[in-house]
């Protein structure tokens, strides 16, 4: 898969691009089943909400689930990022983010590269997210909110929020968000299951809580140019990965090869 010139221009101008219906129903069903499997695991990589029970994020799921291992090497996700970052990429972070019905909590306003730079000493913003919607993301179930063009202003000052949610995050203050929204507005990244969202690592974004009866799972691949790998190893290896070798893509039908009866945990 290769992005068009128009898509590349939109990405560089706005900081994001949404690609509808990139994965089909068969592939999405495999991933929905896989998500339920990993959320139920008793592993340190499966982070819980403040209630201690509801899954919030399954880190590094590609290391213990076969469907997510294949997704982490899928050409429809890897090739466009290689195109934008102009070279081979490695997996800096892999997350299966849950917004459980009624209980999925907020992700505060932040920039991903702000965290990668401060916590992991990633040298430059030559890294980005590509996200696959495993469920429909609608107005009511906590979709991603983004501030267009905010990626053009570099890294903002941030505070380390250790209290708002169960997961610590480097967050932006209200004055900064108000100024950025006055300039660029807010976009709600709605999309059907199977859609893919690509966004710049300095794009300011957040997501509201999910008070609806509809769950919302998104798989995030945070990919970094191999020359731009992290220099600090403060966070656990399942949060900020240590394997800087280039990702080798699998075949385009690698998810379809898995039926709903064969999505097992990887060895």
Res. 260: pLDDT tops 60: no
**What are the pLDDT digits (tens) for 61-114?**
999 999 999 999 999 999 999 999 999 999 999 999 999 999 888 888 999 999
Whole-model pTM: value is 0.92
Lowest mean pLDDT among 55-59, 154-158, 230-234: 154-158
Res. 165: pLDDT tops 90: no
Return the number of other C-beta atoms located less than 10 Å from residue 52's C-beta.
Answer: 7
**What are the pLDDT digits (tens) for 9-45?**
999 999 999 999 999 999 999 999 999 999 999 999 9
Structural domains of the chain ordered from first start: 5-228 (2.60.120.620)
Residue 251 pLDDT class (50, 70, 90 cuts):
very high
Residue 267 pLDDT class (50, 70, 90 cuts):
very low
Res. 163: pLDDT tops 80: no
Is residue 181 within 8 A of residue 147, CB to CB? The reply is yes
């Amino acid at each position: 898969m290769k992005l068009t010139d128009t898509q590349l221009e939109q990405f560089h101008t706005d900081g994001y691009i949404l690609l509808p219906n990139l994965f089909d129903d068969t592939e999405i069903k495999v991933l929905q089943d896989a998500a339920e499997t990993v959320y139920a695991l008793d592993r340190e990589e499966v982070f819980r909400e403040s209630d201690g029970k509801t899954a919030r994020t399954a880190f590094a799921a590609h290391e213990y689930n076969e469907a997510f291992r294949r997704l982490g090497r899928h050409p429809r996700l890897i090739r466009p990022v290689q195109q934008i970052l102009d070279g081979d990429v490695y997996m800096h972070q892999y997350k299966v983010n849950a917004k459980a019905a009624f209980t999925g909590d907020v992700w505060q306003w932040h920039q991903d590269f702000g965290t990668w730079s401060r916590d992991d000493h990633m040298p430059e913003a030559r890294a980005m997210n590509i996200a696959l919607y495993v469920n429909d993301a609608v107005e009511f179930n906590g979709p991603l909110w983004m501030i267009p063009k905010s990626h053009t202003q570099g890294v903002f000052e941030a505070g380390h929020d250790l209290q708002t949610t169960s997961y610590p995050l480097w967050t932006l203050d209200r004055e900064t968000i108000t100024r950025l929204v006055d300039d660029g507005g807010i976009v709600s990244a709605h999309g059907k299951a199977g859609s893919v969202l690509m966004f710049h690592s300095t794009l300011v974004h957040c997501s509201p809580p999910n008070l609806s009866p509809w769950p919302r799972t998104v798989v995030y691949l945070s990919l970094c140019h191999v020359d731009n790998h992290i220099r600090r190893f403060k966070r656990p290896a399942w949060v900020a990965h240590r394997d800087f070798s280039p990702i080798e893509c699998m075949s385009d039908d690698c998810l379809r090869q898995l039926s709903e009866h064969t999505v097992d945990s990887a060895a």
